[in-house]
Amino acid sequence: MNVFAHAEFDAHEQVCFCHDQASGLRAIIAIHNTALGPALGGVRMWPYADEAAALADVLRLSRGMTYKSALAGLQLGGGKSVIIGDPARDKSRALMIAMGEAVNGLGGRYIAAEDSGTTVEDLKAMRDVTRHVAGIADKPTAQGGMRTGDPSPATAYGVYAGIRAAVAFRLQRDELDGVRVAVQGVGSVGFKLAKRLAAQGARLWLTDIDTDRARLACGEVNAKLVTPEEIFALDVDVFAPCAMGAVINDDTAATLRARIVAGAANNQLAQPRHADALAERGILYAPDYVINAGGVIDVALELESFDVDAVNERVAGIGATLTEIFERAEREGRNTSEVADRLAREKLQGKRDMRESAR
């Protein structure tokens, strides 16, 4: 397995392969870039087909975290880690502690957070052996209550703000009443997003590989249940992918009938060229690492003095960032993914230039 020649390798600063025989841990930690600060990123646990699939995922995800933090205006770099295994079958407290020890060995260059297949409780187990963990503290809500460190409410709010921005730009509509949205995946983020959209009068179609979960969600938000295969070809205004990545591929890019793609999933494009495929069909794409940055904003501000109003204001700003990207893409005749990448690289280069001039 050649890391440096890997198609997804992008001048990553550090890639660590971690193993603990006693707990069965097999993991990869990728630090993409620390120009803006220590690399923050979630710990994903997934039953990858093999180590090559895990490596490809962690390399892509860590780069996305660099760009996500840069465009969110955070003083953090980008990193990610993946644990190879089925979280329902292979996860244990011993395994999470071993993962914490691996993170601790990096001396703070990487800060771990929750992700697909891990929970706040898993991160608290890691916290027993490393302080380089975030997203576990109880936090106040705007309603005066408290919630766990789970960043999914902030992620959902950011996607909601992003959908409003996309609808305003493409459909010239300031309200979501009657806007047709297909939500793919109703887990912790997708369901919260669906509730926000329903509260604003959007018409919803939902799907999930867990049919029972999808059916229950439909009942709560008065949505229509569709199969995972049907979701792509629905005649809707917005397609919101909120499950796993690579859902925009050769087949789906050609069959989508939505005018907007805006959702919470990471790495929605199977290949960078699929951004062009969407643009050629007049489909507005909200770059995933921009629209789903609410969670990392929530976790990042936890590292400071957490203020719920400051978090909500920062997350709401995702809409303005997307509008800037949409306008620049239209002005320059480029796809939105390319423009977002360029904006992120400009921010990183600006930081490097500042460091060079200070020497």
Check whether residue 119 and residue 231 sit in a common domain. Answer: no
In a domain, residue 243? The reply is yes
Check whether residue 166 and residue 310 sit in a common domain. Answer: yes
Sheet-wide strand order for 110-114: 14-20, 25-33, 77-84, 39-46, 110-114
Check whether residue 163 and residue 226 sit in a common domain. Answer: yes
| Residue 48 and residue 10 in contact, taking contact as beta carbons nearer than 8 Å | no
Mean pLDDT of the chain: 93
> What is the CATH number for 115?
3.40.50.10860
> What is the CATH number for 242?
3.40.50.720
Q: Which residues have C-beta within 8 Å of that of residue 182, sequence separation ≥ 6? A: 204, 205, 206, 207, 226, 231, 234, 236, 238, 239, 240, 258
CA distance 293 to 339: 17
Check whether residue 259 and residue 318 sit in a common domain. Answer: yes
Check whether residue 27 and residue 118 sit in a common domain. Answer: yes
In a domain, residue 147? The reply is no
In a domain, residue 71? The reply is no
| Residue 265 and residue 244 in contact, taking contact as beta carbons nearer than 8 Å | yes
In a domain, residue 356? The reply is no
Q: Beta 77-84 vs 25-33: how paired, if at all?
A: antiparallel
In a domain, residue 357? The reply is no
Check whether residue 115 and residue 163 sit in a common domain. Answer: no
Structural domain tally of the chain?
2
Q: What is the pLDDT of residue 277?
A: 97
| Range of the structural domain that residue 242 is part of | 152-345
Check whether residue 286 and residue 340 sit in a common domain. Answer: yes
| Residue 106 and residue 16 in contact, taking contact as beta carbons nearer than 8 Å | yes
pLDDT digits (tens, 9 = 90+) for 60-117: 999 999 999 999 999 999 999 999 999 999 999 999 999 999 999 999 999 999 998 9
In a domain, residue 207? The reply is yes
In a domain, residue 359? The reply is no
| Residue 87 and residue 28 in contact, taking contact as beta carbons nearer than 8 Å | no
Check whether residue 162 and residue 56 sit in a common domain. Answer: no
CA distance 63 to 65: 5
Q: What is the pLDDT of residue 77?
A: 96
* Catalytic annotation present for 192: no
Check whether residue 212 and residue 298 sit in a common domain. Answer: yes
Which one is catalytic: 68, 80, 91, 192? 80
Tokens 């983020």 belong to which residue?
Answer: 189
pTM: 0.90
For 316, other C-beta atoms within 10 Å of its C-beta total 15
pLDDT digits (tens, 9 = 90+) for 155-164: 999 999 999 9
In a domain, residue 143? The reply is no
143-153: average pLDDT: 68
Check whether residue 255 and residue 284 sit in a common domain. Answer: yes
Check whether residue 119 and residue 184 sit in a common domain. Answer: no
Check whether residue 327 and residue 190 sit in a common domain. Answer: yes
| Residue 48 and residue 82 in contact, taking contact as beta carbons nearer than 8 Å | yes
CA distances 291 to 10, 241, 359, Å, are 22, 11, 36
CA distance 185 to 264: 9
Judge whether residue 358 has pLDDT over 70: no
